[in-house]
Amino acid sequence: MAVTGTVSSVQMVLLFQDGVDGKGNVKLAKKVYKNVAKTAKPEDVYEVAKALADLQMLSLAGVQHIIANDLAE
């Protein structure tokens, strides 16, 4: 059985450090950018994320490049 995957959506998520909670754990805030080009390379996504993070007040804690695939036989 051969299964193929077709990219259905791509998102970029920026994670920002938003202080600490009462137990000293880091709180994260996130900003999700949907409809990222399906052909976007990880390096390009990261560069855009860094540029957008420079416009924010909070410190960038991480970047996620989420690719969803529809699977079929």
Cβ-Cβ contacts under 8 Å for 2 (sequence gap 6 or more): 73
Taking only the tens place, the pLDDT of each residue in 23-52 is 999 999 999 999 999 999 999 999 999 999
Show the tokens assigned to 52. 């957008």
| CA gap 18, 8 in Å, rounded | 31
**The predicted structure's pLDDT at residue 34:** 97
Show the tokens assigned to 17. 């450090």
Mean pLDDT score, 48-57: 96
**The predicted structure's pLDDT at residue 50:** 97
Taking only the tens place, the pLDDT of each residue in 18-31 is 999 999 999 999 99
pTM equals: 0.86
